[in-house]
Amino acid sequence: MLKLIIIAGARPNFMKIAPIVAAAKRRPAEFQLTVVHTGQHYDAAMSDAFFRDLNLPEPDVYLGVGSGSHAVQTAAVIKAFEPVVLKEKPDWVVVVGDVNSTLACALVCAKLNIKVAHVEAGLRSRDRSMPEEINRLLTDQIADLLLTPSPDADANLRAEGIPESRICFVGNVMIDSLLKQLQRARDSTILNQLDLNERDYAVLTLHRPSNVDEQNAFARILDALAAIGARLPVIFPAHPRTRKMIDELGLARRVEGISNLRLIEPIGYLDFLRLMSGARLVLTDSGGIQEETTVLGIPCITLRENTERPITVEMGTNTIAGTDPNKIVESADRALNNPPDKSRLQAPEFWDGQSADRILDALLAPRIVN
């Protein structure tokens, strides 16, 4: 029996831990699991709604660290998590993704000689101005087992000199959640609530500091949204940080002035899945949404200069448009004028709903850890 602690901190972690938690509960003879929520995200809409939609049990341990600067938040998780590890003495700690909680918990374990497995290892944007890129690089350096979602991630790790014995390709566990919940998401009433017709609207998400923390960058994206909004309604469930920045940067009137841009509160997993799968186009700076649209076959315009998920571009659904308004509008026009042929839809290898069990199998497998 392996004793595991699994960590979730922020919204994009919840859909990654849910399938692993469910798989461990199906295998009680092999795994005993403790779920730790760091409290990096704490609003009902950013956290509780996801636990409910994903059928996640209440966390066993809630660290309640909340928001803060990167240093303050990371340090708060480190300080709060160490006593949990000392008390539980797990065989493995499983961290997912690239948020501050991921790195903080991996670092605690590395110093205590507790084994860490990193789910979604090896992704690289090669843009060190992104806080997530720093979290990815450092977590992969100190984790014992690097569980990768796609072959490009394996190649990145090898190129950094990480020994083969630490790398294991398991596929994309977030897609386990998507495939499992798609049927339930069809019952969502979000399209009716927002008075939308299937394939007649675009969905936008925006929260990266590089896009929303600086007035000029944000304003340029708004210019592009005004042009796209002339073709179809753009539904914008706004992250709390984005909403705050709209006010702080004095952009509220500009946002209100784009009549077809509809700012709404953040929505839960099932409603978002429904909204995204019915959309004609998705515009985003999120990493996970680039992957979800690949599996759903929805054109995605990524409002960043780079991606750590190049496989989504290779599969043909994702376009890296950057933040130049002309390029964004051109990419959106191209996607709207050439709807994808869904009969040719293909998912990358191991994005098949079985990654959680591959992750658990990898934890059980004896391996030489250098």
Q: Which residues are catalytic?
A: 207
104 touches 77 (CB < 8 A): yes
Element (H, E) at 71: helix 70-88
38 contacts ligand UD1 (rule: CB under 6 A) = no
Q: Which of 40, 317, 331, 355 binds ligand UD1 (CB under 6 A)?
A: 40
Pairwise CA distance, residues 313 & 302, whole Å: 10
Q: Which stretch binds ligand UD1 (CB under 6 A): 10-18, 82-90, 197-205, 246-254?
A: 10-18
Instruction: Check residue 131 for interaction with ligand UD1 (CB under 6 A).
Output: yes
**279 has which bridge partners?**
none
Candidates 115, 184, 241, 327: give the one binding ligand UD1 (CB under 6 A): 241
Least Å distance between CB 102 and ligand UD1?
A: 8
322-352 CB burial, b ≥16 within 10 A, e <16: bbebebbbbbbeebeeeeeeeeeeebbebbe
Q: Does 99 bind ligand UD1 (CB under 6 A)?
A: yes
DSSP 250-286: T-HHHHHTSTTEEEE----HHHHHHHHHT-SEEEE--
Half-sphere exposure of 89 (CA within 13 A, CB side): 1
Q: Indicate which single residue of 87, 199, 244, 367 sits in contact with ligand UD1 (rule: CB under 6 A).
A: 244
**CA of 140: how far to CAs of 30, 50, 80, 158, 325, in Å?**
26, 27, 22, 11, 35
Query: Residue 314 CB: number of other CB atoms within 10 A?
Result: 13
Indicate the residue among 32 and 306 with the shorter CB distance to ligand UD1: 306
Q: Contacts with ligand UD1: how many residues (CB under 6 A)?
A: 20
Task: Closer to ligand UD1 by CB, 239 or 304: give it.
Answer: 239
Question: Is 41 a residue that touches ligand UD1 (CB under 6 A)?
Answer: yes
Look up residue 162 and give its amino acid. Answer: I
Angle at 58 between CA 57 and CA 64, to 5 degrees: 145
Shortest Å, Cβ 58 to ligand UD1: 17
19 binds ligand UD1 (CB under 6 A): no
Q: How far is the CB of 207 from ligand UD1 (least distance, A)?
A: 5
- Of 46, 142, 155, 249, the residue at the interface with ligand UD1 (CB under 6 A) is 46
Among 4, 7, 8, 12, binds ligand UD1 (CB under 6 A): 12
Residue 182: count other Cβ atoms within 10 Å of its Cβ.
15
Residues 6 or more apart whose CB falls under 8 angstroms from that of 289 comprise 205, 276, 282, 300
Residues 271-330 that bind ligand UD1 (CB under 6 A): none
| Residue with smaller CB distance to ligand UD1, 46 or 336 | 46
Residue 57 beta carbon to ligand UD1: minimum distance, rounded to whole angstroms: 20
CB 85 within 8 A of CB 34: no
- Whichever of 24 and 108 has its CB closer to ligand UD1, that residue is 108
Which residues sit at the interface with ligand UD1, rule CB under 6 A? Answer: 10-12, 40-43, 46, 67, 73, 98-100, 131-132, 207, 239-241, 244
